[in-house]
A and B are shown apart, each in its own frame.
Chain A
């Protein structure tokens, strides 16, 4: 018994020592990132940031954190918000399982008592929107608008604390019509109107695939391959690609948003390509996809509810500032979190207080903010950003030599072009 006690004490002491070492290392990095500098502040406003900061989804989470950090540094350098210093409190939602997300939100709201929570997207269903609204916590999100719509619907007045920078995804469902348009304009050839539809088992991808399937069928397309892959890293696409090659569709649509999966899909497709155009959801908009695929991505096209072009001066400016600060070019979430913070700052200034969250939320509702991705104006029924030529215009892009070539006005840079793998 004595020996066991001794062993237990040794283990406890070892545990404490390990904890101290980890704590010191973590504290060093955390302390550095939060070291006070510049003007004196009369208080602190806590900006909660919930996202995947570790694990397979960490790229966008870290990028969003950097975008947020950039904006916070600018605001603090300019004297803070109503004389208060902005401090970022992070919550890591990891692989976005509901238990982790719930725990993160409880921590941010109840323990940290943050003043607002910002995110790109941090769960698969956006269920945390309900939590935030119930706990009267101001929450601004930028992704998965279909899931936000499933929660809020047209009942925005019941969700005063929740606002989304993402517009309704109806523009995403227009692929068959754009293909028809490009065919009629002589840019595309569709001899069979057969489509291979591949999606991933998550609400975002499935919702888009379901709407696309309906629209393809309504537009007299035949869905010849219809596959759903699990929401995980797909190493080997050969079986699905074999089905695609046998069917020889005019168009391949892959709505698995994970850029690593889509890049692997493309790479393996190009081992033995068919004369098929290829549409991919979301992934081609990320710098990671471009980095991984290089010129292999030439000819891939995608649509997007935000403007992502350096022809917009604000976009180029923010991209340059971000790169100068963090050493790499951001994707959409680097921009989004930057502007979410500024929307919050504008709302607090207009409300004259940060403590009355409902007053701030009511000011967020009036947002009319010109951002690097378009102008954000909220639909008062859905609390989603509005789509429109003067707000967030629906856009189609095709990748050529690492560049996103915009296919729509007002910043059109080219026409839809046949990919190089056609033979």
Chain B
């Protein structure tokens, strides 16, 4: 039994660290979970390969960087294109035929799990199990008293907020985005008014994978890259999606920051060992009170 380790003095540096740490965690969880929530909201499948697509995003950045030796900024668009393509193909080659054949959603979900195993073990076979790291774009750290945050993490918060802004504009200001929202609300009606639902499905999984790929690049620049690196973010993203409400994008966004901040403040106040316990207790309590999650059933 690990003893509770409460801080005896309310240390402002500690709380500042917790706040910044929580926001960084929340930003990464948001990026991971919104794609997952999007694919659930649009075609009702939990994509178990989401974490491995994150890993592929990070690994392919590392590999391209090694091959071309150019600045990582120029590699990011290539990798986002690649992860979009993986998502597009996953929908077209694996999910679509299964859904067409009338396979139950459980079978489709298991198929995505199979894809995750193939991706993870392919990377393990090709590149080995050794850890790597991506270079940071910004060096140095902002220091305030006993607290500090690297400029790279501040950049990550900025990139995530920018990515969400672009994504929101895509969904609300473009014809394809409108079609995505239409399919999410009612597939049959969308199909009746001429929307090519299958293409939208593929675009949605492509976009979800693109977001995962971006998350992989960002995570790979502050921690490490290895073939199993997608597992833990996927679990966290699943928690976020459940807490936010299955299929609710804004719910996922808000829930990601809630979870990030809970983890961070629990770590600061009680100790890191208690963070998962407190997190799960709170999530269970919220789900008991609101079974459809914080934003479930209201907001797609």
Give the complex CA separation of A260 and B223 in angstroms: 8
**B226 adjacent to A271 (CB under 8 Å):** no
- A246: B residues at CB distance < 8 A: 11, 13-14, 146
Residues of A336-363 whose CB lies within 8 A of B = none
Chain B residues within 8 Å of A292, by CB: 131, 133, 224
Assess the A59–B130 pair: CB atoms within 8 A: yes
Which segment, of B77-85, B203-211, B267-275, faces chain A? B267-275
Q: Is the CB of A260 within 8 A of B224?
A: yes
- In contact, A242 and B146 (Cβ under 8 angstroms): yes
Residue B45 lies at the interface, judged by CB distance under 8 Å to chain A: no
**A239 surroundings in chain B (CB, below 8 A):** 14, 17-18, 21, 264, 267-268, 272
Tell me the residues in window 1-37 of chain A with beta carbons closer than 8 Å to chain B beta carbons: 3, 7, 10-11, 18, 22, 29
Specify which chain A residues have a CB less than 8 angstroms from the CB of B271 in the assembled complex. 227-228
- Please count how many residues in chain B sit with their CB below 8 Å of the partner chain's CB atoms: 52
Q: Does B185 contact A (CB under 8 A)?
A: no
Q: Which of B11, B17, B101, B227 contacts A58 (CB 8 A)?
A: B227
CB-contacts of B132-177 with A (<8 A): 133, 141, 143, 146-150
- Pick the residue among A55, A201, A245 that contacts B273 (CB under 8 A): A201
The reply to whether the CB of B194 lies closer than 8 angstroms to some CB of chain A is no
| A240/B101 contact (C-beta < 8 A), A235-B223, A271-B141 known | no
Known interface pairs A58-B124, A240-B267. Does A288 touch B131 (Cβ–Cβ under 8 Å)? yes
| A interface secondary structure, majority | helix
Which B residues touch A48, using CB under 8 A?
none
A196 to chain B, nearest CB (A): 12
Question: Which residue from chain B places its CB closest to the CB of A293 in the assembled complex?
Answer: B133
Q: Within 8 Å of chain A (Cβ to Cβ): is B291?
A: no
Residues in chain A near residue B114, CB distance under 8 A: 18
- Chain B residues, Cβ within 8 Å of A245: 13, 146-147
A243 interface contact, C-beta 8 A: yes
Report A279-321 CB contacts with B as 1/0, cut-off 8 Å.
0000000001001100000000000000000000000000000
Q: In the complex, what residues of B have CB within 8 A of residue A226's CB?
A: 5
Q: Which of B216-236 contact A (CB under 8 A)?
A: 219, 222-224, 226-229, 231-232
Query: Is A272 at the interface (CB under 8 A from chain B)?
Result: yes
1/0 per residue, CB under 8 A from B, across A179-214: the answer is 000000000000000000000010000000000000
Chain A residues contacting B299 (CB-CB under 8 Å) are none
CB contact between B226 and one of A56, A232, A238 (< 8 Å): that residue = A56
Q: Do A3 and B102 have beta carbons less than 8 Å apart?
A: yes
Query: Contacts A3-B102, A272-B141, A328-B130: A228 and B2 contacting too (C-beta < 8 A)?
Result: yes
A11 to B107, Cβ gap below 8 A?
Answer: yes
User: Given A235-B25, A271-B148, A272-B146, A62–B18 Cβ distance below 8 Å?
Assistant: no
Question: Is there contact, CB below 8 Å, between A230 and B272?
Answer: yes
Nearest B residue to A229 via CB reads B272
| Contact of A7 with B102 in the complex, beta carbons under 8 Å | yes
In the complex, are the beta carbons of B146 and A236 less than 8 A apart?
A: no
Number of interface residues of A (CB under 8 A): 44
Q: Is B120 an interface residue (CB 8 A)?
A: yes
Nearest CB in chain B to that of A328: its residue? B130
Q: Chain A residues with Cβ under 8 A from B264's Cβ?
A: 236, 238-239
Q: Tell me, yes or no, whether A150 is within 8 Å of chain B by CB.
A: no
Could you tell me if B222 and A235 are in contact, using CB atoms closer than 8 angstroms?
Answer: yes
A175: CB under 8 A from chain B?
A: no
Q: Which residues of chain B (98-137) have a CB below 8 Å from chain A?
A: 101-103, 107, 114, 118, 120-121, 124-125, 128-131, 133
CB distance from B259 to the nearest CB of A (A): 13
Say whether B129 contacts A58, CB under 8 Å: yes
Q: Is the CB of A241 within 8 A of B17?
A: yes
The answer to whether the Cβ of A234 comes within 8 Å of any Cβ in the partner chain is yes
In the bound complex, CA of A58 to CA of B224 (Å): 14
B276 within 8 A of A: yes
- Neighbour of B272 across the interface among A54, A56, A227, CB < 8 A: A227
Q: Nearest CB to that of A227 among chain B residues?
A: B271
Chain A residue at smallest Cβ distance from B269: A239
The answer to whether A264 has its CB under 8 Å from any CB of chain B is yes
Q: A236 and B25: CB pair below 8 A?
A: yes
Partner of B148, one of A10, A228, A272: A272
> Complex: how many Å from CA A245 to CA B272?
17
Q: A242-B13, A246-B11, A288-B130 are in contact. Are A236 and B21 (CB under 8 A)?
A: yes
**Cα distance A115–B267 in the bound complex, in angstroms:** 48
Q: Does A259 contact B (CB under 8 A)?
A: yes
Asked if A249 is at the interface of the complex by the 8 Å CB criterion, the answer is: no
Chain A, residues 227-268, CB within 8 Å of chain B (1/0): the string is 111101111101111110110000000000001100110001
- Is B212 interfacial (CB 8 A cutoff)? no
How long is the Cα–Cα vector from A292 to B125 in the complex, in angstroms?
21
Is A61 interfacial (CB-CB < 8 Å)?
yes
CB neighbours of A54 from chain B (8 A): 120-121, 124, 129, 227-228
Are A260 and B131 neighbours in the complex by a CB distance under 8 Å? yes
Flag whether B242 is at the interface (Cβ < 8 A): no
Write the nearest CB–CB distance from A3 to chain B, whole angstroms: 7
- CB under 8 Å from chain B, chain A span 59-76: 59, 61-62
When distances are taken between beta carbons in the complex, the residues of chain A under 8 Å from B101 are: 7, 10-11
Known contacts A11-B107, A56-B228; decide if A238 and B131 are in contact (CB<8 Å): no
Interface hits, B19-58 → A, CB 8 Å: 20-21, 24-25
Of listed B114, B133, B275, residue having the most chain A CB within 10 A: B133
CA gap between A360 and B149 in the complex, in Å: 57
Please determine whether A234 and B272 come into contact, CB atoms closer than 8 angstroms.
yes
Question: Which residues of chain A are near B21, meaning CB under 8 Å?
Answer: 236, 238-239
| A and B contact pairs by CB, cutoff 8 A, 27 listed | A7-B101, A7-B103, A29-B125, A54-B129, A56-B229, A56-B231, A58-B129, A59-B129, A59-B226, A226-B5, A228-B273, A230-B272, A230-B273, A235-B222, A235-B223, A236-B25, A236-B264, A238-B20, A238-B148, A239-B267, A242-B14, A242-B17, A243-B7, A246-B14, A259-B131, A260-B223, A268-B148
**Nearest 10 CB-CB pairs, A to B?**
A58-B129, A245-B146, A272-B148, A271-B141, A239-B268, A242-B17, A239-B267, A271-B148, A238-B21, A59-B129
Extra inter-chain contacts (4) besides given A227-B272, A236-B264, CB under 8 Å: A58-B124, A58-B228, A226-B5, A245-B147
